[in-house]
Amino acid sequence: MDSKQAKNTPLNPYKTKKNSETVSKIESALDKAVAKLPKLKNWIRAHLCTLWGKASPLLDKLKKIDYATAKAFTLKYKWRILIVLVVLYAGSKAVNYFFPASIKAGGPQTITSVVVEKQDIPLIIEATGTIISSSIVDIRPMTTNTVKTIHIKDGQEVKEGELLFTLDDRNDRANYEKLKALADDAQKQYLRAKELVAKNFISKAGLETSLANAKSAQAAARSAEVQLSYDSIRSPIAGRAGIINVFPGSLVQASNVVTTATSSTATSSVGSMVTITQLNPINVQFVVPEKDIPLLMEGKQADTPLKVKVSVGNDDKATYEGEVLVIDNQVDPSIAAVRVRAQIPNEKMNLLPGQFARVSLNANTLKEVIAVPSEAIVISPKGRLVYLVDKDDKVQPKPVKVIYEYQGTSVISGIEAGSRVVVEGKQNLRPGGKIRESKKQTAASAPAKAAAPAPEKK
């Protein structure tokens, strides 16, 4: 492309001939308007000067008016002045009648309201805790011996008194049978001595010696029987067995050394033979802050036990209901809280010790109180208030005091039952303003389930 063609080629490919003509017309009109600006400026200045010339004599006359002149003018035209004032007053009233303030302000505000009633509101304390077993036992040997038989499997449900392990009892059984035979013989010797004393063949001292030997032999036999019983290890509680840490032939000792850990060359460790854990019912342990202790103790003194609702992990749908078992007798100063333990059912065995739990504790109940949705409360520089709707559908602010707040519901004082309270649309309300209900009003609902902070007084 040569230089001449490049000069004639438009830089903007969308700039057509028609667009160029339009732009030229607009530029021409702008030039004409700018040219007329000095003339317009001079015209405005001339008219302002003329207006000032006409107004100056009137201003001079007004400056010369004194009290006597104003009084004479008023007395001369008093009826005309009175008629003008009456006409202005009547016109003002007519305007307010035909165009009320609500219409001039844009009509009534659309709101949503509820009619509050007295109801019972539970006081909820929320906490986090841990699932713990109500009873857990580490099975350990009472004597040094080798494992002969294992009667359970890993994870098996066992009953109280059920046989778990049998140790090699040959030596202990032989010792027991020996001492039992000696005890039986000593008893026979005592009975024979009693017959001889009756016939005066031996003295009473010999009878007493025979009785002492019989009792000693029997005690030795019972001791051997107890030692033999250590070879049969039974479950002291009902529950679920954990992982079995021994095998048939393993050597166990009263020092709690059992074989558990496995390496590439050997299997040995320190621990219990097995752990029995009671899972049903199961406990949950949590802490309550020190500031909520008065509320907790007040609820404890009631006749009914304190109720709890527990959810485990991230499953908020599955909740378990139970009762508080015990409140600790001292506050932990390191965390400024008191420990609380509750018991919940676990029929399906879904809960295991060590799981994280969320607890809602129903500490007490507020009787016959006024509850409103928390969003109905307006925070102003003078405090908290709500808007009440009267029978003429006008709103008035009412100061209130919040006694307790939990999960979107607030217990307040300062209004009566049956009052209609604005919930939504209160942002643009003014005292005496007209409102229009957006939907059918309903009674204020009770707070949602589960636990929360203690009552706050504000």
pLDDT in tens, 417-454: 989 999 988 888 888 888 888 865 444 444 433 334 44
pLDDT of 249 > 90? The answer is yes
Residue-level pLDDT at 263: 40
62 or 351, greater pLDDT: 351
Beta strands in 36-117 (DSSP E): 109-115
Mean pLDDT for 58-67 is 68
pLDDT number for residue 19: 61
Whether the Cβ atoms of residue 335 and residue 289 lie closer than 8 Å to each other: no
Say how far apart CA 388 and CA 394 lie, in whole Å. Answer: 8
pLDDT of residue 40: 76
- The answer to whether 190 and 214 are in contact (CB under 8 A) is yes
Res 310: pLDDT: 94
* pLDDT tens profile 360-394: 998 888 888 999 999 999 988 888 999 999 888 88
Q: Per DSSP, which regions of 246-344 are E strands?
A: 251-252, 274-278, 282-289, 307-312, 319-332, 337-344
> For residue range 273-292, what is the model confidence (pLDDT) as tens digits?
999 999 989 999 999 998 88
pLDDT score for 255: 67
Distance between CA atoms of residues 95 and 105, nearest Å: 14
Segment 345-372 shows an average pLDDT of 90
SS3 category, 55: helix
Mean pLDDT for the stretch of residues 71-89: 83
Mean predicted confidence (pLDDT) in 41-68: 74
Q: How confident is the model at residue 24 (pLDDT cuts 50, 70, 90)?
A: confident
Looking at residue 212, its amino acid is A
Round the average pLDDT of the chain to a whole number and report it: 81
Q: For the residues of 413-443, what is the DSSP string, one character each?
A: ESS-TT-EEEEES-TT--TT-BEEESS--EE
pLDDT: which is higher, 281 or 96: 281
Residue 283 contacts residue 133 (beta carbons within 8 Å): yes
CA atoms of 201 and 244, how far apart (whole Å): 63
pLDDT at 458: 39
Report whether pLDDT(99) > 80: no
Average pLDDT over residues 235-246: 92
| pLDDT of 259 above 60 | no
Least-confidence region, from 27-31, 166-170, 249-253, 343-347: 27-31
**371, 344, 370, 347: which is closest to 357 by C-alpha?**
344
Percentage of the chain exceeding pLDDT 70: 83
More confident residue, 153 or 69: 153
pLDDT for 264 equals 37
Q: Out of 95-99, 123-127, 148-152, which region has the weakest mean confidence (pLDDT)? A: 95-99
Which backbone phi and psi does 28 adopt, to 5 degrees? Answer: -65, -40
Average pLDDT of span 19-30: 72
Residue with the bigger pLDDT between 258 and 152: it is: 152
Across the range 19-35, mean pLDDT stands at 72
Q: Is the pLDDT of residue 271 over 60?
A: yes
13 vs 355, residue with greater confidence: 355
User: Using CB atoms within 10 A of its CB, is residue 393 exposed (0-12), middle (13-18) or buried (19+)?
Assistant: middle
Kindly list the distances between the CA atom of residue 455 and the CA atoms of 323, 339, 340, 451, in Å, as whole numbers in the listed order: 22, 20, 20, 12
Angle at which helices 67-76 and 78-98 cross, to 10°: 70
How many Cα atoms occupy the beta-carbon half-sphere of 206 within 13 Å? 13
Quote the pLDDT of residue 61.
66
Is 405 in a helix, a strand, or coil? strand
Tokens representing 54?
């006409």
Residue 8 has pLDDT above 50, yes or no: no
Of the candidate ranges 184-188, 191-195, 226-230, the one whose mean pLDDT is the lowest? 191-195
Structure tokens at 111: 């709101």
pLDDT in the model for residue 2: 45
Q: What is the pLDDT of residues 106-128, one digit of tens each?
A: 568 888 899 999 988 888 889 99
Amino acid letter for position 263: S
Give me 434's structure tokens: 């007209």
The residue among 423, 422, 399, 424 whose CA lies nearest residue 412 is 399
pLDDT at 182: 95
Asked if 393 contacts 435 with a C-beta cutoff of 8 angstroms, the reply is yes
Q: What is the pLDDT of residue 26?
A: 77
- pTM for this one? 0.58
- In this prediction, residue 62 has a pLDDT band, given cuts at 50, 70 and 90, of low
Q: Tell me which residue of 456, 330, 445 sits closest to 384, measured CA to CA.
A: 456
Cα 251 off chain centre by: 51
Rounded to whole angstroms, the Cα distance separating 414 from 445 reads: 19
| pLDDT value for 59 | 67
pLDDT of residue 162: 95
Report the C-alpha gap between 191 and 94 in whole angstroms. 130
